[in-house]
Structure 1
Amino acid sequence: MTKRSLMGAAIAAVLAAPLSAQELEEIRMGYIADYFGASIAAIATEQDLWEKYGLEAELSVFTNGPIQVQALNAGSLDFAYIGPGALWLPASGQAKVIAPNALGYTDRVIAQPGIESIEDLAGLRVAVPEGTSGDMLLRLALEEAGMSTDDVEIVSMDPSTVVSAFASGQVDAAGIWYPFVDVIKQRVPDLNELSSNEAFFPEIAFPSSFIVSDDRAGDEEVIRQVVAVIKEANDFRRDNPEEAVAITAAFLGAPEEPLLAESKLARLPSSAEYEELSEGGQVANWFGTLAGLYEQFGKIEDPLPADEFYLGQFYTDN
């Protein structure tokens, strides 16, 4: 073999060799234990996408987005997943959005049997995880009915407590999402679904997303690596829906059936479509509209323009 051939073989061997643990960039990422909150992390783990893009990910599970933003701000997380209900946090300057995830319509306003409409909720106890997409949907549904949160008794509780409180009849209604709705239906099968976020599409879209802490928002190369993982996992999830559910169920140690039901409750653009939508300004408009709603509902004051908290260039340039 010639010297040139030997050199070429050596270079090829180096390129083919996996990165060592010392060469991988360590990140800490949060996720939520439902389909859209965990499927990207699950697929990335099962398909070895973290290592493929030079990352070593320490994954931590959370019950909602606001708690993850607290962890970001405390320095114990670098990246996180949030639903649309937690978007008020980046919109108020806490963290930056780096990628859209799914256009979900898993949220519902549900009510006990006999409560037939949003108007019927007047004066009743309504459970909601504060600052989540269930909270947002409840506010939108009340507004559409000419009401506000002042017309009901809001009871703030975490999602698992919503399940037990609704099932035991301690609350009359709830702003909550699948798969928790499915769990509640097993115990209250004749509950009523009074509203869905799908009813507000396309005027209002409900994108879940991935965010980065302010401390790492300037680490452009790492953000690009994370976005590359998200995009490849997103396309795998879109192109292989049943396998994606199976992977996520195994990752969570959960049954497939409720995750399969949840997986059908969203629009899933491809990464190429998200690139086009980001370049055309639609993704920023989705985020900006939600931020405006949070201002309207009194959740935040003077939200940032979407192009200041959505770092879309990392998605379109990746």
Structure 2
Amino acid sequence: MRNSPQRYAQRFPHKVPQRSPQAVKRAWRTVASVLAVALVCGCTTAPPRTARPQAVPLPDYERVSTPSGATPRERIVDIALQEWRKWGSQVVHIARDDTACVTHSPLPAPNLTAAAETGAPNSRNGAASGASADVDAEEHGDNASCLRFPDGTGMEATPQGCRMAQRYWGIVGEAPDCRQVTQGAWAWSAVFISWVMRRAGLDNDQFLTGQSHSMYVVDARDGILPRPAFHVEPLPALPRPGDMICAGRGRDKYIDDPADIGFGTTPMHCDIVVEVDRAAKVVKAIGGNVQQSVSMDVIDLNDAGQLDGFTNSHLPWLLILRNDLQ
């Protein structure tokens, strides 16, 4: 095997000039000076992550009207509610029995005709005849009666749902087709949140849009923005309207420490809180791509009236993104 001097001699056949001892000393003094300055200013760490590219603002016709004089927090809630109504006001109950069942949808329940023919529970819902899917609250504990919309179905699979989901993708400069909108690789829950925040008037100093929930969660956790609209608060706690509540999903469903969230790599889901009913011990929150629609989650709180990561194992909540706006 050839030694290093021979290998470098072949790659650089020219003669390397020899430096005098004085020149070598001057070079080392220069390096030492640079390192000293770097240590003082903290420049030895990796360069800070630059803000991810933000899409060009959407046209004026995409703007959403909100009540005059509404605060930023109120605008967030109002716009989320407006979008929920446009999608048909679907409701999902995230209950203490570890279920997440659709209790109201503008669409017929899937596969209900087969259920009626076999006498299975819920055949009385009448979805085979075109009625909307309404499931009684007392049935949530019965998995056979827990109504869900599989991937590729629900409102996102309709022409209207596709158009609305494409609007959200536009906020990050993407334009999926209607087939892609129904696929997991194009899950649109994070871009829904991003769209709402931009429509509510939050600028790049307050909130950065992203295709992954973990992007803006890490932004808030690490305090990278000049005027952040949100900060991370661990659970258990009680959210307020205008906050966001977030959970891990997929391989990180049971992640239990916000410090473990990776920027753009941890699969997550977040909803916008629109109402807190302390008497009923429920929180109502709106999220995108929930049961293939923009849905309102009605979430049961624990015995202390707080949101936690244990009351419902279907969606073990991890944190609150506390809204610091008025």
TM-score bracket for the superposition, by shorter chain length: under 0.3
Q: Give 1 or 2: higher helix fraction.
A: 1
What TM-score results when the alignment is normalised by the length of structure 2? 0.22
Q: Rg larger in 1 or in 2?
A: 2
RCO higher in structure (CA 8 A, sep ≥6): 1
